[in-house]
Each structure stands twice: as structure tokens, then as C-alpha cells.
Amino acid sequence: MIESRVLPQTKGVFLDADSIRPDELDLSLLMEAFSGLTFYAHTHLSNAVDRIGSAQVVICNKTPMSRDVLLEVPNLKLIVVAATGVNNVDLAAATEHGITVCNARGYSTPSVVQVVFTMILGLMTRLFDYQRVVSSGVWQKSEQFCALHFPFSELSGKRIGLIGYGEIGRAVERVAKVFGMLPLIAERRGVTPVREDRLAFEDVLAHADILTMHCPLTPETKDLIAEKEFALMKSDVLLINTARGGIVNECALRDALYQERIAGAGVDVLTNEPPTHGNPLLDSPIPNLIVTPHIAWASREARQRLADQIAENVQAFREGMPKNVVNS
């Protein structure tokens, strides 16, 4: 177990500060938590050790904190991940070297929910198709007052399948009910017996009109939605993934859209980010697909809550009462 320490003076580094656009935020609480804090816009693994130097605290979002790095920074006592997911940190190595790792929780929920329903509404209402009807001049040539080229449906009465039922999944459920939707909460794949308030994973895939992903990326959820799962879905289903790339197999999603086995998809996350070497969802135009660059978490208000929570994590550790600890 990692021993809690009281740190009267705290030197820190933020290795990838541009990931939260700090120039747009009030960082007063964060600055007060340190005796000195150095910001780096981006940090590659190759220069992480030099930049950490003698710092006691590292803040990082996606910069890898590998075993090799942690071996070379003996003064490091705390890693604060500026996100909920901590797969960029070797937690076993951190624990072995007495380094506490904390994450941030709950800061992005309203932002993610807003993007989820932006995608759902855009796809369900055929918003982009109708915008093209106007921008291409088709409506202007219509013989009647409206141009009903693309049939669309209401959310009311539709079944929304929730894959993952943590804080964000529950928040999506609350908004869905306001639209008059029927939530279907999926049990984890392969788990029996199915809990009373849930449905078997395969049953949710088969009956949902909209599927939205809110589970973490783990070995169990990698390629959770792939060719076999698409085969179970209704042909008019919409799939939304604002969780993690890799949960939905991107080649299988591309094929399902091309072959019209599903009606559309909204994706905010990809397996490799940024997709510098291409991606099956980006290599050619795909019908009824929205892809955004991992922004669902990132409203200005969410990033402010994140910065404040980072400060709270650091201050709690300084006082010997660490919070949001993910290793022990």
C-alpha cells in the first residue's frame, strides 16, 4: 500500500497542457496547489524524463507514463491524470515505486451527454441531408413550400440501448426519458444471471433503435461491437460511440454502413488518436456517418471542472489525504 505524505512544497509539471486549452480557463486554483508548476504544450515519451526532472507531481492527459519513465524519476510522488481513463499509466510500476496515481471523475458528464444527443438528433432528423437540400438549391426549385426528400422519425417511443451504465450512461438515460424514449440497459456480455434491472447484452443489440456506448476500454470490451454484433442489430439502428476507440471495431462499422446493415453512426473516438496513419472510417466517404475529433468531453465548462478537480487532487495529496486514487 502506498503511504500518504504531507508535502509542504510541491513542484509539478503538466506534460500535455494543450490538451485542455489552458489559455481559455481560470487556473488560479491549480496554481495555488503548487509551489511551482511548469506547463508543456506537448511531451513525447522520449523527453518525458528530462521534463519531469526533480518534480514531485506530474499532470498528464495522454502522455505515456511507462515503467521505463518511472524508473528514472525518483522524486516523483504523484501522477494526476487529466482524464478518467488511466491506460496511459503503468499502474503496477507506479505502485511498486510508491507513486500515487489519481484521476478525474464526473467532470465531463453534461458535455458528453450533449454531444451524444447532438449526434442522435442530427442522424435521426437527417439534419445534414436536409442542409444539403438547401445549400445545393434543391429547395429553392421546389414546387411546394417544403422539400420532404428524407423521411425521418421522432425519438419519442424509440428504444435506446445503453452499453455501460455508469455516471454518463445514467445521465443519457435521464435525458432519453425526457424525449419519451424507453431505455434498455445492457448486462455485460457473457454475464449470467442477468441483473433484475437489465437485459441480456444480445437482447439489447437486437431490440434497440439507438445504441450508445458508455463503457471503458478493457481487454473484455475491445471489439465489443464487431461483425457478429452488427448482424444482431436492426437495419434502422443508430450507433453512437463517445466512449473509447477500440470498443467498436472500425472495419466492421465501415462495412455495416456501406452495406446498409445499420442506418447510421456517430463516432467521437478512434482506436488511434490522432489518426495520423489513416483509419477505416476516414479513408473514404461513408454514408450516414458523423466523426468528431474526440471532443465530447471538452466543453469549456467541463474543462474548467477538470482543471479545478486536478487542483483538488493535488491539494488533497499535499495534505496527506489523497482522493480519486486508482492504485494502492
Catalytic residues: 244, 273, 294
DSSP string, 14-28: ETTGGGG-GGGS--H
Whose CA is closest to 209, among 155, 290, 152? 155
323 alpha-carbon distance from chain centroid: 22
Query: Which set of grid coordinates corresponds to residue 216?
Result: 471503458
What are the strands, taking DSSP E only, across 105-218? 159-163, 182-185, 210-213
Q: What is the CA radius of gyration of the chain?
A: 22
Query: DSSP code of 215?
Result: -
Residue 247 gets which letter from DSSP? S
**CA–CA distance, 310 with 70 (Å, rounded to integer):** 20
Torsion of CA 118, 122, 125, 126, to 10 degrees: 180
